[in-house]
Structure 1
């Protein structure tokens, strides 16, 4: 957009307009088996991972846990040891169209949304973001 071009009509959608609460979380010191049990018991596709200070560390999925399950050895593998999605994270004020582009490039279906201090506010899913943009375009 050039300085003299007109601004798009309507409100600018942000991540806050399309994010969902994250219902299930796990701390990074839990074992991979414990996280897998939570995923199976809740039928969730992902869990938010929190550090010892409560800040968001990323997301873990069944696929990310799979290589760490049932490993033999003296120490159990924790969620912090797994290949979970770690930053960058989205902010609620980030433009929704830009967020969709980032998610497409990174091939993410879900993206954690954090506040300025790093605490989880919710998640942005690709489907919910696309629906919000489509609804705004048809309005």
Structure 2
């Protein structure tokens, strides 16, 4: 796994404004893509969080599943016991990169209607997440 520090990513584009690395937050909650909807729901309810990052069998980021995205499956109890997260409709890549311009990332998130966007390294491993709220706050604080 690539172990790039946030500090080195922040200096990747000196003088060019904020990057995604400046605004990304850690994401401690992940689930394997072969886990069931029932398991994902248990994790989301117990933590509580609104989303989980989904990782593939190699540990790379595969997507993001939300509480709202699980709701249709939870109405049918036998679905939750047998349906793998990989079989659900959930957010897939492409994902944000840490060196991506933050203003561009915020525009992309607005266009795609994303409130959370996984941030991955060049090998596809999760570094954190970018939330639309955090991007908006950081961009609003930036002098023009």
Q: How many residues align?
A: 128
Match of 2:139 among 121, 133, 137: 133
What CA deviation, in whole Å up to 9, does each residue of 1:43-83 have, x standing for no partner?
1010000000100001001111122233537x700111111
Residue equivalent to 1:40: 45
Residue 60 of structure 1: SS of its match in structure 2?
A: strand
In the alignment, is residue 13 of structure 1 matched against residue 2 of structure 2? no
In structure 1, the gaps of 5 or more residues are 1-9
TM-score by length of 2: 0.84
In the alignment, is residue 78 of structure 1 matched against residue 84 of structure 2? yes
**Structure 1 residues 59-74: aligned runs within 5 Å:** 59-69=64-74, 70-72=76-78
TM-score by length of 1: 0.87
Return the structure number with greater helix share.
Answer: 2
CA distance in 2, matches of 1:99, 1:108: 10
Residue equivalent to 2:55: 50
Match of 2:123 among 104, 117, 120: 117
CA distance in 2, matches of 1:72, 1:26: 20
In the alignment, is residue 92 of structure 1 matched against residue 66 of structure 2? no
CA distance in 2, matches of 1:33, 1:72: 9
The farther-off stretch of 113-122 and 62-71 is 62-71
In the alignment, is residue 103 of structure 1 matched against residue 113 of structure 2? no
In structure 2, the gaps of 5 or more residues are 1-14
What CA deviation, in whole Å up to 9, does each residue of 1:86-110 have, x standing for no partner?
0110000000000000000001001
Residue 119 of structure 2: SS of its match in structure 1?
A: strand
